[in-house]
Amino acid sequence: MNPVDAKSAVDPRNKLNELNNRDWMMETKSVWFCRPPQRDNLKAQHPATFAESDIVRLIEFFTKSEGKVLDPFLGSGSTLVACAQTGRNGVGIELVDQWAEIAIQRTQGEPNSAGAQLRVLKGDARECLKQMPDEDFDFIVTSPPYWSILRKDWDHKVKAERKSRGLQTRYSDQDDDLGNLESYDEFLGELGVVFEQCRRVLGMGRYMCVVVSDFRHGSKFIAYHSDICRVMESAGFTLEGITVLVQDSKNLYPYGLPFAFVSNIHHQYILTFRKRQP
């Protein structure tokens, strides 16, 4: 095979996805540029969503057609919308009724020509995951709550703008909402419980991506992505790579100006982990 054919061919040894060699290589670049997310009226009600277009790329890299995908913190249902768009089967868990209902409506409103099976489970991920069989999923992708920043430290300008549009600025008042835990250590401990179950329900050799950004708590900068890496490794996953997801379309604010450096956080991380043999 000449080098040009080699790039446009799907390697017969490729058991992971249906990408040709060129597309496979492109997706392993450690920087992605996030397209400005399309927010329909339903999705816009949720305070912290990710863009389907990025999740589509991850699903197409980490599964073949008809693969089975899990999101244990489903929110407005973006992962299931991406499953419908790629013909993958998907299961999402969401604690808060309001978001689960929005996820159901968004999923049902999506053209699903490949007949993907899509299920929204309402409940606490810590409990729902326990009911699932071992090694049932080909890929897991999620964005967990960012501790309690929506309650305490969320950017006041963004918060004020959402309030003025009558949109919610937090997930819920529920005690079992991980975003309402007071202590950061306790929060990370409970995330660990979810991640251990995720490892159990994921097939051997398969991947899990966690999409997060860092944040500030008062004057303290919290490197959330590195804490997630630690918790995932304690849950038995190995870190395989970090992709920086550039969010160039966000507004710039003069946070520390003119007294101190305060970062405008304009990127997220896609943290990619694998379930390897112990």
**Count of residues of this chain found to bind ligand SAM when the rule CB under 6 A is applied:** 25
> Nearest distance from residue 268's CB to ligand SAM, in Å?
11
Nearer to ligand SAM, 176 or 196 (CB): 176
- 45: contact with ligand SAM by CB under 6 A: no
> Nearest distance from residue 148's CB to ligand SAM, in Å?
11
With CB under 6 A as the contact rule, the residue among 154, 171, 224, 237 that binds ligand SAM is: 171
Q: DSSP labels for the chain?
A: --HHHHHHSPPTT--S-S--HHHHHHHT-SEEEPPPPP--HHHHTSSS---HHHHHHHHHHH--TT-EEEESS-TTTHHHHHHHHHT-EEEEEESSHHHHHHHHHHHHTS--TT---EEEEES-HHHHGGGSPTT-EEEEEE----TTTTTTTS-HHHHHHHHHTT--SSS-S-TT-GGG-S-HHHHHHHHHHHHHHHHHHEEEEEEEEEEE--EEETTEEE-HHHHHHHHHHHTT-EEEEEEEEE-TTSPP--SSTTTS------EEEEEEEE----
Nearer to ligand SAM, 60 or 71 (CB): 71
Cα 269 from Cα 209, distance rounded (Å): 10
Nearer to ligand SAM, 75 or 90 (CB): 75
Nearer to ligand SAM, 105 or 172 (CB): 172
- 187: contact with ligand SAM by CB under 6 A: no
Q: Using CB atoms, what's the residue nearest to ligand SAM?
A: 75
Site for ligand SAM in 85-104 (CB under 6 A): 93-96, 99
Nearer to ligand SAM, 16 or 82 (CB): 82
> Nearest distance from residue 180's CB to ligand SAM, in Å?
8
Cα 124 from Cα 60, distance rounded (Å): 28
Longest dimension (CA), the chain: 61
> Nearest distance from residue 45's CB to ligand SAM, in Å?
10
Nearer to ligand SAM, 16 or 107 (CB): 107
Nearer to ligand SAM, 16 or 71 (CB): 71
With CB under 6 A as the contact rule, the residue among 17, 63, 85, 143 that binds ligand SAM is: 143
Contact set with ligand SAM (CB under 6 A): 46, 48-50, 73, 75-76, 78, 93-96, 99, 124-126, 143-145, 171-172, 176-179
